[in-house]
């Protein structure tokens, strides 16, 4: 076929990759510190999109307000969940945490589906980002370009925060040896709660990014989250850099597959996951 089509699919792949990266970043942050797979991540992403929808349609607060307020609001609910429900489970087998967050995902998605049905609600694109860039080989909507750049910025910012700042150092230390870090006077339980809230906030932020281009619907998280799990496993379960690189990378790989062999585009990420697990079980960037 043509290089035009190829570049177009690659760009679409980068856009998808932005969502994969943002979501797997949140999951990696949560797994790294709490050792819990947050199955509710997809539902929290969906909640982010809905909160943005309400901010606009009930209170007239537009997209830019949503970007600031939504992660705080949904992150707060995440912190409440952690305090009330996840804390009692830390002394048990970690798989109970997975089952709990799975149950939470069902409750959240069911409640939204009950209220809004499963067809999508429209969220209008912010004025300043409508229109297209004519790149010659395709028209790239301005909004989608913004998504790529903003996600990159947030991912790199988070990586910097965790890997290069003192706060991040405390976090990484607490992952390795919570008792010792607590003995040094750092409030580890509070840090854990805030970390979970931060991860959830990242998911909600991705939801706000998604609202103008994908329909705001209760099911938007569940189809995406399974792919993101695969991305996280490939990247290495607790690795921040791994989730960013793998997220964008796999988005591009998926885009390429859509061009060369579209029938396999759904499964390619899972196939890669199986291969990586055979050769390097800890993931590309993981340590074990």
Partner 1 sequence: MAIENPSTLHDPAFEARYQRYAFLAMALFLVAAPSFIYPVFLMKALCFALFACAFNLLLGFGGLLSFGHAMFLGMAGYMSAYSAKVWGFPPEAAILAGMATSAVLGLLAGLLAIRRQGIYFAMITLALAQMVFFFCLQAPFTGGEDGIQAVPRGKLLGVVDLLKPLAMYYTVLAIFLGGFLLIQRIVHSPFGQVLKAIRENESRAISLGYRTERYKLAAFVLSAALAGLAGATKAIVFQLASLTDVHWTMSGEVVLMTLLGGMGTLFGPVVGAFVIAAMENYLSELGAWVTIAQGIIFVVCVLAFRRGIMGELEAWLRNRRK
Partner 2 sequence: MKFKMKALAAAAALAFAACGAQAEISGKVVKIGVLNDMSGLYADLGGMGSVTAAKMAIEDFKAKEKGLNVEVVFADHLNKPDVGSQIARKWYDSEGVDAIFDVPNSGVALAVNEVTREKKKVFVNSGAASSDLTGAKCSPNTVHWTYDTWMLANGTGKAIVKTGGDTWFFLTSDYAFGHALERDTEAVVLKNGGKVVGKVRHPLNTQDFSSFLLQAQASKAKIIGLANAGGDTINSIKQASEFGIVKGGQNLAGLLVFITDVHGLGLEKAQGLILTNTFYWDHDDKTRAWSKRFAAANGGKYPSMVQAGVYAGVLHYLKAVAAIKSDDGTAVVAEMKKLPTDDPLFGKGSIRIDGRTLHNAYLYEVKKPSESKGPYDYYKLRATIPADEAFRPLSEGGCPLVAAK
- Interacting residues with partner 1 (CB under 8 A): 35, 37, 85, 88-89, 92-96, 98-100, 102-111, 113-114, 222, 226-227, 229-230, 233, 237, 263, 266-267, 270-271, 273-274, 277-278, 281
Least distance to partner 1 from the beta carbon of 280, Å? Answer: 11
Q: Which x/- pattern, by CB under 8 A, does the window 94-123 give for partner 2?
A: -------------------x---xxxx-x-
- Say if residues 225 and 42 touch (Cβ distance below 8 Å): yes
| 4/287 with CB nearer partner 2 | 4
Question: What residues contact residue 205 under an 8 Å CB cut-off, 6+ apart?
Answer: 22, 48, 67, 70, 71, 154
Least distance to partner 1 from the beta carbon of 117, Å? Answer: 9
Q: Does 8 bind partner 2 (CB under 8 A)?
A: yes
- 106 makes contact, choosing from partner 1, partner 2, none, with CB < 5 to 8 Å by partner type, with partner 1
In DSSP notation, the chain reads --HHHHHHHHHHHHHHHHHHHHHHHHHHHHHHHH----TTHHHHHHHHHHHHHHHHHTT---HHHHHHHHHHHHHHHHHHHIIIIIGGGTTS-THHHHHHHHHHHHHHHHHHHHHH-SS-B--PPPGGG-SEEE-SSSEEEHHHHHHHHHHHHHHHHHHHHHHHSHHHHHHHHHHH-HHHHHHTT--HHHHHHHHHHHHHHHHHHHHHHHTTTS-B-TTHHHHHHHHHHHHHHHH-TT-HHHHHHHHHHHHHHHHHHHHH-GGGTTTHHHHHHHHHHHH-TT-SS---
Of residues 238 through 257, those in contact with partner 2 by CB under 8 A are 255
Q: Does 5 bind partner 2 (CB under 8 A)?
A: yes
Q: Does 9 bind partner 2 (CB under 8 A)?
A: yes
| 108/245 with CB nearer partner 1 | 108
Least distance to partner 1 from the beta carbon of 241, Å? Answer: 20
Question: What residues contact residue 103 under an 8 Å CB cut-off, 6+ apart?
Answer: none
Closest by CA position to 228, among listed 37, 50, 12, 9: 37
- 233 makes contact, choosing from partner 1, partner 2, none, with CB < 5 to 8 Å by partner type, with partner 1
Least distance to partner 1 from the beta carbon of 81, Å? Answer: 10
- Say if residues 239 and 286 touch (Cβ distance below 8 Å): yes
| 93/134 with CB nearer partner 2 | 134
Of residues 189 through 228, those in contact with partner 2 by CB under 8 A are 213-215, 217, 219-220, 223
Which residue of 2, 84, 127, 185 would you call a contact of partner 2, by CB under 8 A?
2
Least distance to partner 2 from the beta carbon of 262, Å? Answer: 7
Least distance to partner 2 from the beta carbon of 122, Å? Answer: 8
Judged by the rule CB under 8 A, the positions of this chain that interact with partner 2 are 1-2, 4-5, 8-9, 12, 15-16, 113, 117-120, 122, 125, 132, 134, 138-139, 141, 143-144, 213-215, 217, 219-220, 223, 255, 258, 262
């Amino acid at each position: 076929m043509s290089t035009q089509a190829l570049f177009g699919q690659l760009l679409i792949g980068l856009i998808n990759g932005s969502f994969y990266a943002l979501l797997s970043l949140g999951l990696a942050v949560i797994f790294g510190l709490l050792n819990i797979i947050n199955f509710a991540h997809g539902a929290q992403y969906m909640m982010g999109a809905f909160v943005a929808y309400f901010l606009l349609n009930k209170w007239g607060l537009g997209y830019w307000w949503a970007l600031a307020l939504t992660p705080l609001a949904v992150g707060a609910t995440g912190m409440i969940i952690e305090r009330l429900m996840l804390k009692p489970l830390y002394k048990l087998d970690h798989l109970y945490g997975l089952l709990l967050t799975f149950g939470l995902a069902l409750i959240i998605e069911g409640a939204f589906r009950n209220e809004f049905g499963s067809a999508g609600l429209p969220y209008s694109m912010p004025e300043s980002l409508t229109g297209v860039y004519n790149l010659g080989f395709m028209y790239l909507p301005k909004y989608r370009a913004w998504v790529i750049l903003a996600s990159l910025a947030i991912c790199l910012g988070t990586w910097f925060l965790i890997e290069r700042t003192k706060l991040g150092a405390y976090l990484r230390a607490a992952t390795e040896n919570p008792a010792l870090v607590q003995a040094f006077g750092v409030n580890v339980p509070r840090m854990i709660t805030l970390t979970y809230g931060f991860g959830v906030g990242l998911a909600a932020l991705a939801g706000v990014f998604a609202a103008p281009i994908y329909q705001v619907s209760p099911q938007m998280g569940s189809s995406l989250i399974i792919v993101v799990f695969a991305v996280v496993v490939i990247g290495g379960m607790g690795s921040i850099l791994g989730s960013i690189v793998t997220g964008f990378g796999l988005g591009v790989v998926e885009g390429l597959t859509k061009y060369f062999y579209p029938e396999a585009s759904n499964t390619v990420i899972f196939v890669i996951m199986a291969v990586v697990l055979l050769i390097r079980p800890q993931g590309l960037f993981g340590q074990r």
